[in-house]
Amino acid sequence: MIDLEGIKNILPHREPMLMVDRVIDLVEGDYIVAEKTISEEEYFIKGHFPKMPIVPGVIIVEAIGQVSGILIYKTAGLEGDQTERSAGFAGVDKCRFRSPVFPNETMTITVKIDKMNNRICKLIGSVSVEGMIVTEANLTMVNNNPLNQIMDKY
């Protein structure tokens, strides 16, 4: 289990763009399960859409990306100062939105490593709410220094 402060020690993201509340399961080099509870006060809820608020798809994909980042950094043994590292999106494939996510719901974000080398990490992600898959996406993340050398072992 990793709480919010632990997540902030791993990711460079901060509110309002931090899209992970807690990590509930993680096996380095394999998979991660994390959660994000959507508040009615989230900045994106107020305008998307005022009469029927839902979480924008891009925010859901961002949550998958951030959870992927935690898995990558934990696998590489990197925590603490984030100034000399970055892992960013290189691609999103096979993204499907099956159902909307509403305020006061908790997204469970699951990411599994598919392939990893010294520069690229391919991941399979899904988001569920109350056990129902609402979004699926395959991500490609590019690893920048100092991840290049560390992640070459996987």
Beta-strand runs (E) in the chain: 22-27, 31-37, 87-97, 106-116, 120-129, 132-143
- In angstroms, rounded to a whole number, what is the distance separating the alpha carbons of residues 114 and 138? 9
Task: Check whether 124 has a pLDDT greater than 60.
Answer: yes
Q: What is the domain range of residue 81?
A: 4-151
Catalytic residue among 13, 48, 112, 119: 48
pLDDT tens-digit readout, 16-54 = 999 999 999 999 999 999 999 999 999 999 899 989 999
Enter the pTM of the model: 0.90
126 C-beta neighbours (distance < 10 Å), count: 17
Sort 97 into a burial class: Cβ within 10 Å, 0-12 / 13-18 / 19+: middle
- In angstroms, rounded to a whole number, what is the distance separating the alpha carbons of residues 9 and 148? 20
Residue 13: active-site member? no
Q: Which of 108, 132, 32, 14 is nearest to 73 (CA)?
A: 32
Domains identified in the chain, total number? 1
Q: What is the CATH number of the domain that holds 46?
A: 3.10.129.10
